[in-house]
Copies of this chain bind each other. A is one copy, B any other.
Amino acid sequence: MAPHLRSSPTPVVGPADDARDPRVRILSAAGQEFAEHGYEAATIRDICAAAGVNVAAVNYYFGDKRRLYIESVKHAHEERLRQVPQPEWATGTPAQEKLHQFIDTMLERMLGAGQPPWQVRLMMREVLQPTEACRELVEDYIRPHFAMLVAILDELTAGMLSQAELRRVGMSIVGQCFVYRAAGDVVSMLVPRDEIESLHTPKPLAQHITRYALAALGLGTPLALPLVRVTKDVIA
């Protein structure tokens, strides 16, 4: 009986990441091809060539291309979850520090060192043009992250903002990171090369976005101090 027809699609035993297992070799190759070219443009022949298996293997293990795609998205994001686990903070860590580290981690994940991993590119495709695999991706991966950000913001503002307002602020922070990942090529055309390398890389960006958020919330020094505010600083 073909594996993709069995009751338990994923083998119950085994780590399922054995490089010699054709199934995971196909999943990995498929993920990279889908990430690079998209669903339509990626071909089963190329995927199988990259995985070193016969074209018939895809239908044997996954049934058809559509189900291979869905499985590869799930596989990619499970792998990514294992690669970069949620940071754990010691109790008593200042919320401001948590926020900074959260933004920094998000940017590092999205932009990474040099070329971002194909797993992120694949997930980005799902975000930009959702398919069947999207809902699962959101529930398992994106929603918990966003909830963590909202929790940090809640702690930061000590209950002064409603959950709705917190979500909106959270989306503002996510958006500032997101644009660099999704529209990175256009960003590179809008700002000079040296400026990109000095100001628009993860670390400086995390600092900027954090400072921008803290100042907007009234918890840090504004980016540009207007003259009227000087009086306050004198008093403080």
Contacts and interface: CB of A to CB of B under 8 A. Distances in A.
Interface of A: 37-38, 40-41, 127-128, 130, 134-135, 138, 142-143, 146, 157-158, 160-161, 164-165, 167-169, 171-172, 174-180, 182-183, 185-187, 189-191, 195, 199-200, 208-209, 212-213, 215-219, 221-226, 228-229, 231-232, 235-236
Contacts of A215: 215-218, 222
B225 A190 contact: no
B209 A172 contact: yes
Given A190-B138, A232-B232, A222 B226 contact: no
A189 B41 CA distance: 28
Contacts of A178: 175, 178-179, 182-183
Contacts of A213: 216
Given A40-B41, A158-B226, 18 more contacts: A37-B40, A128-B128, A130-B185, A138-B190, A146-B190, A157-B224, A160-B224, A161-B223, A164-B195, A171-B180, A171-B200, A172-B208, A174-B179, A175-B177, A215-B217, A215-B222, A219-B224, A232-B232
Nearest to A187: B171
* List of 8 A-B pairs having minimum Cβ-Cβ separation, nearest first: A218-B222, A175-B179, A157-B224, A216-B216, A40-B41, A160-B224, A175-B176, A215-B216
Nearest to A211: B216
A228 B158 CA distance: 13
B40 A212 contact: no
Interface of A is mostly: helix
B182 A135 contact: no
B231 A235 contact: yes
Contacts of A187: 171
Nearest to A233: B232
Given A40-B40, A138-B186, A190-B167, A219 B212 contact: no
16 contacts: A127-B186, A160-B224, A161-B223, A161-B224, A167-B191, A168-B199, A171-B187, A171-B191, A172-B176, A175-B179, A178-B179, A182-B183, A216-B223, A217-B223, A219-B222, A232-B232
A183 to B, nearest CB: 5
Contacts of A174: 179
B209 A218 contact: no
